[in-house]
Each structure stands twice: as C-alpha cells, then as structure tokens.
Amino acid sequence: MPTLRHKPLPEHGLAGSVKEPSDLMCKLFQTHVASDGPLKGCLDLDRFVASQAALAKVQGLKANPTAAALAFNELASAVGPEPSIFRRFSQWQLRAFSASGLSAEALLDVLHRAVEEAKAAVQSLASEEKARRARFKAVAERRRDEAENATDVPGKVDDEAARRRRAAEQARRAAEEEARRRRAAEEAERAAEEGRRAESEARRTAGGEASRRAADARQTAEVSSKAAGKASAVAVPAKEAATQPTRSLGYACASRFRATTRRASQAWAGNLEALAQELARETQGEEETAWAIYVWICHHVSYDSEGFEGKRPPRSCEPRDVLRDRVCVCAGYARLFEALAREASLRAEYVGGIARGSEQIGAAEKDVFSDSKNSHAWNAVQLGGKWFLLDCTWGAGSCQGGGSQGKKFVRKFNPHYFGVPPEQLAFSHFSSDWNLLNRALSKQEFVSQPYPTSEFFAAGMSFMPGEGPVGVVACRGSNTGVVQLMVPRSVGLLADLGGSDEERCFIERPASGDEVRVHFRCPRGVGSHDLKIYVRQSAHANSASYGLACTYQVAGHAGPTRFVEPCFPKVHSDAFEGHGFRFAAVPPEGLLKADQQGTVALPVLAPSRLQLLVTLNDEEVQIASNGDRGIVCSLKPRQVEGKLSLFAGEAGSTRLGCIATFKLARRGSPA
C-alpha cells in the first residue's frame, strides 16, 4: 500500500484535545486496507469488520458486525484520492469514539491498544484466508487429476458425475436443515419477545388474563427453543409464507455473508446467464444466492429519475437492457432480479402494486391509488420452500433534491429491503396479489397508517400491540396530544412537530420498560402538521447521528376549548438521565413566568449531590432552594425574559454540562 500523505486531523471533537493522533489513526486505517490479493490497496470488508470488532474489545463494548458492514458500505462509496478517503474514515471514527462516551484523555491510549488489537485480528484473518485458498487449490488440483484419470477408464466419467450430484444433493439438504434451524431460533426469539411484552402488559393492567398470556408466551418460547436445537426430517411445504423475524432477513445476511457481499458488489459479466452463474458460483443455498443477486443489483443499477420525471424518454426495463444500461425505474429492478433469480434456479416472481411516501399519510384513497406515479414493482422469492418479499429499488438508494434541478438518485445500500417481514412492508407497499399477511389490509387502512422507515425497524422499534396504528392524529377540544411506541432502552429519540425551532414535543420514557409516550402541542390555528420521530441507535452501534424513523400527521383544532402554549423544555437526555434528574410533573412546562417576588421555579428535581448552575441569557441566576417544588431561583430586576438554562456536574467538577433549557416569559404575558 502506498504511503498515506495526509494533513493533520480536522478540529473535531476529541481530535482537538489530543496531540499528534494522526499517525495512530493512519495505522488504524491501514488495518482496514487489503495488503495483497486482487483488492490490494482497497478498503476490505472482512478486515474492516475484524478491526472494528477489535476496537470494540479494547473499549469494553460489544462488537456489532452489522453496523460495521453498513458503515463500510458508506465509507467505501467515497470517491476521490486516497487521502480524502482517509479523512472521511478519520472523521467517522472520531464520531464513533464520541458516541461511545470516550473521553479526550483516554483517546490516545485507546488508539495505541486498538492498533495492536486490530493488527492481530487482521493477521489472523489473513492466515485463515491463506489456508482457505490452499484448500481450494488442493480441491481444484484433485478434481483436475480425477478428470484426467477418468478419460482412460470406461464409465468412470458417468460414475464421477453421479457422485458429484449426490454430494451436491447432500450439501443442499444440509443447507436447508441449517436454514430450518435458523428459522426455529428466530421463532424462539420472537416468542420470547412476545412473552416479555405480555408480562409488561400484565404489570400495567394488574389483570389475571394478561398474566396468563405472558405464561403462555413463555411456554411457547421454551418449546421453540428446544425445537431449534433438534434436527427434523419433515419436508417444508412447497407454498407457504415465511415465518418472519422482527427484523428484516437482510441484516442477518449482511452479517453472515460478508464475503459474498464483497464479491457480489464487485462482480461483472456481459450477459444475464454469465452474471447469474458468477453470482451463484460460491454460494451455499438459496438464501445466499438470492442475497448475492440483491447486492449486485443494488450496487450496480441506478434509478432513472430523469425518465421518471419526464425530462427524457424512460429507459427500457427489459432485463438485458437494464444489464446493459444500468439505469431504469422500479420495473427494471424487479424484472432483472426475477430474470437473474430464475437463471440461478430460484423461484422468483414480479410483484406490481402501489408504494407511498410519508407525504401521503391520510391522503384520500382515490388520490393515492389513481396516481400513476405511485405505481411500483418489487419481488417475491422462494427460499427454503417459503416466500419472502424484497425491493431492490428501495434497497439501492433514493431520489433526493427537487426544485428546478430535479431529483437526483443517491446510492445508499440498504439491507432492510431484502426479506422484509410482510407486516413491515405493508406500511409502504400495497399489492392485491402478493402481501403474505394473515389479514390483507384494505386500501383505506393502507393510506391511514403512519409511515415508519427502515430506521424504525432496524432500531427494534414497534407500534403498540392491539389495533393497527393510526397515521392521522386529531386534536379534539385541545391543542395537545400523545402517541405511544415501543422503543428499546438503548435507542435515543428526538421528535419534531411541523419543522419548527420551538420545542413542541416532549418524549416521556419510564424508568423501566420499553413503552414511550411522545407528547406534542400544536400552534394556534387550523392546519395539519407532520410529527416526525428520529432515532439514534446505541453508542456501540457506531451511530452518532439521528435518522428519521416514523412520521405521523397531526390535525390541529379550529378553536380548542383548552389551549396550552406549544413549548416544552429542551432536554439533553443523556446528561439529564445520567445525573438522575426527574421532572416534577410530566409533561413539563417549557414556558415559565416569575411571580411577583421575582422568583421562578424550574420544574426539575435534582439530586442533592450535584453542583448546579442556572443562567438567564448567559448571565448567572441565584438559586434560592432545591426541593420538592424544583429548583427555585431569585431573579434580578433586569432579568425579565429570555433563555433559562440549567447546568450540572458532580461536586467539585470544573466542567458543568447543560441539562435542560426553558423559556422565561415577561411577567404579565400569557404563559
């Protein structure tokens, strides 16, 4: 690998407080780059995942191969000279360090140890790869010798062909048995999750019926767990919808088939037959073959945004034309997958229907289903005797932008849309023929749902059990409302109503359990507002930014009998919860007003051990007391309105972090 010439790291977070981290970051980067073979000098997926696992080990975190594989796809898409890729990697790695809570003082030590661990990990990986190549070479030489010897013995060629067919049949059966065991394990996991939810419901309602459901679910989980470890000789039905896990099959494939993902994303062939043969060449079983085809299409075919918008004639969607042009609309993606799958001896079908976006929540049924621009195509594929749904178009990326420049296709590989559980895909895709649901949705039910994205399901979020979730939330008699979700404790949330800078939303999370309540307050006047919920996965998932998870539409009331100012406090959740703060009432008021004596109470209950600071417009405010009323402050005569901020830190600390921010209203104004 050529020597990296790079500039000092940019002033970003931890980098600015540590001397000379560039050389260590460069060494860490080099462990992610292939040093030999056909990928020499390129970012290598297996090395990247192994190095990130070693880094997690050094920090005492749990390795997350799926998140690392997704990060690799994002980083590997960078274009430009090598230093620009190094800088992009450095910035990404520093964000990951910050998200994991790593202090500036510990960064240098972690980098030293991480480089050594990563080198050892990739050396072990290289040894395994060398041994694997040696085995492949030995097998190839043996088969060549057998073929040469067979030419001198009458009938030996036929015997060898029969032996190979028997071996291939045994391998196929073994692959099907392994797939069956994985499905049984997923069933056990889902049953256990259902048991936990039923127990939570039992605690909330204190009812005997819920407790019985919890016991039943636990029993099902135990039976499923036992079944997952046993072999079975029962044949899989030829036509049956797959028993789906709570997450898309694509995330598991991205983790299990890393070598296939790398090989498929770089494969090339001049025609359908050759490409299908190349993609299926080293796969084991139907699932891995279908995954390789999905990966290739998502990495090599771009969406025809100009043809879709009518700026030029649309490209052909015939499979051979798509393979030649590498540009098409959704029908081309689906036709190409169908053709490649059938060439690889898979059973696949073209699915036509309707796909909607978040802007169509609550739209009239006729408007959604009569608009030709909502027409969409995706696929169904049979794996292990059961049917799965996938969408190569949405898995390849999305069209972004607009205005006079028009929308442009931005490639971003998304494994979520391979093997999507039918009940998840049904929020955005509608087909009368292919839905695989236990109960098909009506057209009205389809358009009335909220709009969860792939981020929603990737984070393990779900809607409340019971009736189907409603996408349009109407405020009746008031300008306030609430939506409820199930969100894992490790997942961070933000919410926004109407894209306003005002804090119109407040997220209520209990001390235990996964049930979350998102409170909102609408501004005055009639109108609809988008309620958007954003998600950030746990720190060790290498994700420091929030992504859109779900959209609702809130309909404001013309003349509410009770109007509450749409203002909540701005809460820095990590610091708030980490220090043990609580609000005196939930939801808390964000707009405060001083009394006649010039005192104002922040509705926050603070642990007595903490050092507190309150400022108004960056000027310190005197704290009079800290008790059951909250933090009571005495204002000076000139301190009448503005931004009221609460800071806190452990006793004796020289650095205090912002906990929450309120608005102080002038006395005499409505609050």
SS3 549: strand
Provide the pLDDT for residue 147.
Answer: 55
8 A C-beta contact, residue 567 and residue 521: yes
Length of the chain: 671
Give yes or no for residue 197 having a pLDDT over 70: no
Contact predicate 479/524, CB 8 Å: yes
Whole-number Å distance between alpha carbons of 536 and 461: 11
- Rounded Cα distance between 377 and 335, Å, is 9
**Do 296 and 265 contact (CB within 8 A), yes or no?**
yes
Residue 371 pLDDT: 85
Q: What is the DSSP string of 585-636?
A: SSSPPSEEE--TTSEEEE-EE--TTEEEEEEETTEEEEEEEEETTEEEEEPP
Show the domains of the chain with their CATH numbers: 43-119 (no CATH), 249-449 (3.10.620), 472-555 (2.60.40.10), 570-665 (2.60.40.10)
Distance set, CA 456 to CA 300, 425, 450, 462 (Å):
26, 12, 12, 8
How is residue 301 written in tokens? 């075919």
Distances (CA, A) of 105 to 16, 133, 548: 11, 43, 33
408 close to 242: Cβ distance less than 8 angstroms: no
The answer to whether 552 and 473 have CB atoms below 8 angstroms apart is yes
**DSSP secondary structure code for residue 517 in this structure:** E
Do the bridges between strand 407-411 and strand 451-452 make them parallel or antiparallel, or are there none, so unpaired? unpaired
Point out which residues pair with 480 in neighbouring strands.
521
User: How many Å apart are CA 450 and CA 438, to the nearest integer?
Assistant: 20
Read off the pLDDT of residues 550-599 as tens digits, 9 standing for 90 and up: 999 998 776 677 888 899 999 998 899 889 999 999 999 999 999 988 99
> Comparing 27-31, 119-123, 138-142, 524-528, which segment has the lowest mean pLDDT?
138-142
pLDDT confidence of residue 188: 62
- Close Cβ partners of 487 (under 8 Å, ≥ 6 residues apart): 459, 460, 461, 493, 509, 514, 516, 535
Q: Kindly report, residue by residue over 357-400, the tens digit of the pLDDT.
A: 888 887 888 889 888 888 999 999 999 999 999 999 999 999 98
pLDDT tens profile 527-548: 889 999 999 876 444 456 889 9
201 pLDDT tier (thresholds 50, 70, 90) = low
Label residue 155 by pLDDT band (50, 70, 90).
Answer: very low
Please work out, in degrees rounded to the nearest 5, the angle formed at the alpha carbon of residue 604 by the alpha carbons of 600 and 605. Answer: 120
Q: Which of 10, 13, 171 shows the shortest CA–CA distance to 102?
A: 13
pLDDT digits (tens, 9 = 90+) for 258-298: 999 999 999 887 799 999 999 999 999 999 999 999 999 99
C-beta atoms surrounding 50 within 10 Å: 26
| pLDDT bucket at 215, cuts 50 / 70 / 90 | very low
Structure tokens at 281: 């060449």
Q: Answer yes or no: are the C-beta atoms of 340 and 392 closer than 8 Å.
A: no
pLDDT band at 433; cut points 50, 70, 90: confident
End-to-end CA distance of the chain: 64
The residue type found at 295 is V
pLDDT of 663 strictly over 60: yes
Helix (H, G, I), strand (E, B) or coil at 262: helix
Mean pLDDT for all residues in the chain = 80
Q: Find the helix or strand (DSSP H, E) in which 193 lies.
A: helix 156-205
Rounded mean pLDDT, 639-666: 92
Token pair, residue 200, equals: 């939570």
DSSP, res 344: T
- Tell me the Cα Rg of the chain: 29
User: Which DSSP string do the residues of 522-556 spell out, in sequence order?
Assistant: PPSSS-EEEEEEEEE--GGGT--S-EEEEEEEEE-
CA pair distance 191, 283, nearest whole angstrom: 31
Contact 278, 267 (CB under 8 A): yes
Is residue 442 helix, strand or coil?
coil
Q: Which residues contact 500 (CB under 8 A, 6 or more apart)?
A: 523
- pLDDT confidence tier of residue 162, bands split at 50, 70 and 90: low
Strand 591-593 versus strand 657-665 pairing type: parallel
User: Where is average pLDDT lowest: 52-66, 152-166, 173-187, 509-523?
Assistant: 152-166
Q: Alpha-carbon distance 386 to 240, whole Å?
A: 5
Mean pLDDT over 476-488 rounds to 90
Q: Please tell me which of 128-137, 182-191, 497-506, 587-596 the model is most confident about, judged by mean pLDDT.
A: 587-596
Alpha-carbon gap, residue 176 to 286, rounded angstroms: 9
Cβ partners under 8 Å of residue 293, min gap 6:
264, 276, 279, 337, 340, 341, 344
Instruction: Return the bridge partners of 582, or none.
Output: 605
For residue 219, the model assigns a pLDDT of 44
Concatenated DSSP letters of 475-506: --SBSEEEEEEE--TT-EEEEEETT-SS--EE
